[in-house]
Amino acid sequence: MNLSFNLKSELRASGSTAWRVSRMWVYPICLLAGCVALFVGRVVAVAEIDPRRDATVDAVEQVMPSVVNIATTRRVQLNNPQDEAIRRYFELMRRLSRGEGSPPAEEPIKGIVGSGVIIDEEGYILTNNHVVENADRIQVQLWDGREYEAQRLLRTDQKDLALLRIVRQPGDKPFKPIRLAKDDDLLLGETVITVGNPFGLGGSVSRGILSSKNRRAMPGNQKLDFPDWLQTDADINPGNSGGPLINLRGELIGINVAIYGQEQGMGLGFAIPVKQISTALSDFFTLEWTASLWFGVGLKAAPYPLTVREVQTGSPADRAGLRVGQEIVEVNEKPLRSLVEFNQLVAASTNHEASLTVLENGARRTLRAELMPMVEFLNLLLQRRLGLSVQALPVAKAEPFPIKSGEGLLVSEVEKNSPAERAQIQTGFLLTAIDGYSVNGFVKAANVLGNKKAGERVQLSLIVQRGMNGNLLPPQPATASVVVR
């Protein structure tokens, strides 16, 4: 019994020792196996990396869905010399024989082929003004082959920029907008990429470096001569105009605009810098333009967040408490993603009253703004500066005037001893323009009147209907030079 017991005890003891010894080797073996697996995994991962896929390829892939090709068409009146008449006669016979009817009095001709870039998911496009300025029809083609008509909305000659909008179809998904770089985030010598439609060949890419951050084109060598362009040695050829110049992060740093002469242009391309683009977008996307509402604030368009850059004294924005440097993060408790969305949300506010959430020095505040329709604002300016009141031209009173209802403002009241009365303006006159700017455009007319200094003159375009011997004469155009008070 004792022998058996001792033997079992020793066997158990020896087994325990063996287990302890074997267990000592388990951890190193597992650790080694893990290291081998990790090493093999890394080797496989390295082997799977495509050496062709560099930062340039990644940037181009990000941006391509935002780039559009632009084709324009304009109509021209045909000449009428004898040879043209003969040509049109035979063309008419040919068409009638085919049952096609008479040829049109005007014929479409192909215009400029250029490029553009989508800057908002609603389909807003930025391009050069010179690409679309003479177009009667604008067509854009997306990177995936889809084609759309586009409307020209706004332009600025000073920066050679134009804003278009794609005519969307029912069921269209949001478009892919490009991201804008920060205004001054430019590195001299950094790699840059131009994307566009050179010579109308379709989407094309070229790469170079940023050669200068504030080059000024020499007068006489280029039709367009604006200061502080970006310069690059990346190819910018005819058709690239309006396309994006991007950095390796796929961010827009400029809009391609010109080369230094058509023959000796290699290595000397120019682009409108993102700082000027951002300013132009801020001027384009205002509630005054998009919704005919007076707000009186200028917002920095990109990159997000929306930052207040200027506030008009006495405006609804000023009265609401908006100040330069504040960041607007919500409208009516809805977070913001873009300046376009800001305009849409404010314009949709009930009774033109909007709740704005702003950040200032880290503190969160809620402001309430009451906006004014632009026609009321223009009327307010006319009362204060000239002493006359206007109203929309009623349909019932529009018949005698050679314009449509809505194309002019009817003078409804003239203040005694006011500048308007001294200029012999009377009730019943129709005001059509201020210093050449149509009152139907409100914004420009209000800007030119609001920026006048006391004592300066403003030219009013009017349509006047006077009577003679008890009979009304046909309305006649007239002008009045009025001193601003």
The pLDDT, as a whole number, for residue 7 is 40
CA 372/CA 149 separation, integer angstroms? 33
Contact 187, 161 (CB under 8 A): no
Tell me the per-residue pLDDT of 195-223, one tens digit each, with 9 for 90 and over: 987 766 777 899 999 999 877 655 444 44
Structure token digits, residue 36: 């081998």
Q: Are residues 77 and 162 in the same domain?
A: yes
Nearest Cα to Cα of residue 224 among 272, 286, 288, 152: 272
Higher pLDDT residue, 286 or 400?
A: 286
- In angstroms, the Cα distances linking 245 to 181, 199, 208, 424, 433 are 11, 17, 10, 55, 39
Q: Of all residues in the chain, what percent carry a pLDDT higher than 90?
A: 54
Residue at 214 is within a domain: no
Higher pLDDT residue, 54 or 41?
A: 54
Given the residues 115, 204, 211, 241, select the one marked as catalytic: 241
Q: Are residues 293 and 365 in the same domain?
A: yes
Residue at 396 is within a domain: yes
Coil, helix or strand at residue 26: helix
Q: Give the lowest-confidence range in 7-11, 260-264, 299-303, 458-462.
A: 7-11
CATH number of the domain to which 71 belongs:
2.40.10.10
Mean residue pLDDT of the chain comes to 82
CA 200/CA 331 separation, integer angstroms? 43
The pLDDT, as a whole number, for residue 11 is 41
Tell me the per-residue pLDDT of 457-469, one tens digit each, with 9 for 90 and over: 999 999 998 766 6
Residue at 268 is within a domain: no
9 is catalytic: no
241 is catalytic: yes
Mean pLDDT value across residues 365-384: 94
How many domains, in total, are found in the chain? 4
Residue at 260 is within a domain: no
* Bond into 475 cis (ω within 30): no
Question: What is the DSSP code string of 24-58?
Answer: HHHHHHHHHHHHHHHHHHHHHHHHHS-TT--HHHH
Range of the domain at 45: 1-49
pLDDT band, residue 127 (cuts 50/70/90)? very high
64: which DSSP letter? Answer: G
The pLDDT, as a whole number, for residue 1 is 44
Given the residues 66, 115, 130, 338, select the one marked as catalytic: 130
The residue out of 137, 166, 195 marking a domain boundary is: 166
| Angle, CA of 443, 449 and 454, to the nearest 5° | 160
Residue at 178 is within a domain: no
Tell me the per-residue pLDDT of 430-480, one tens digit each, with 9 for 90 and over: 999 999 998 987 888 998 999 899 999 999 999 998 766 666 678 889 999
Q: What is the β-pairing status of strands 251-259 and 179-180? A: parallel
The residue out of 116, 133, 166 marking a domain boundary is: 166
Question: What is the DSSP code string of 392-450?
Answer: E--GGG-TTSSS-TTSSEEEEEE-TTSHHHHTT--TT-EEEEETTEEGGG-HHHHHHHH
CA 18/CA 255 separation, integer angstroms? 77
Nearest Cα to Cα of residue 161 among 56, 232, 241, 61: 241
Q: Are residues 387 and 460 in the same domain?
A: yes
475: which DSSP letter? Answer: P
Name the phi and psi angles at 50, rounded to 5.
-85, 115
Higher pLDDT residue, 434 or 35?
A: 434
Tell me the per-residue pLDDT of 92-112, one tens digit each, with 9 for 90 and over: 556 656 666 555 555 555 666
Structure token digits, residue 186: 């430019």
Q: Are residues 127 and 141 in the same domain?
A: yes
Buried b (16+ CB within 10 A) or exposed e, 144-175: eeeebebebebbeeebbbbbbbbeeeeeeeeb
Q: Are residues 324 and 365 in the same domain?
A: yes
Q: Are residues 401 and 313 in the same domain?
A: no
Residue 57, number of CB atoms within 10 A of its CB: 12
Q: Of all residues in the chain, what percent carry a pLDDT higher than 70?
A: 76
130 is catalytic: yes
pLDDT surpassing 60 at residue 4: no
CATH number of the domain to which 300 belongs:
2.30.42.10
pLDDT band, residue 301 (cuts 50/70/90)? confident
Given the residues 115, 120, 160, 315, select the one marked as catalytic: 160
Coil, helix or strand at residue 137: strand
Whole-model pTM: value is: 0.74
Residue at 149 is within a domain: yes
pLDDT surpassing 60 at residue 82: no
For residue 45, which amino acid is it? A
The pLDDT, as a whole number, for residue 24 is 54
pLDDT surpassing 90 at residue 150: yes
239: which DSSP letter? Answer: T
Q: Give the lowest-confidence range in 124-128, 153-157, 178-182.
A: 153-157
pLDDT band, residue 224 (cuts 50/70/90)? very low
Coil, helix or strand at residue 240: coil
Q: How far apart are the first and last CA of the chain?
A: 128
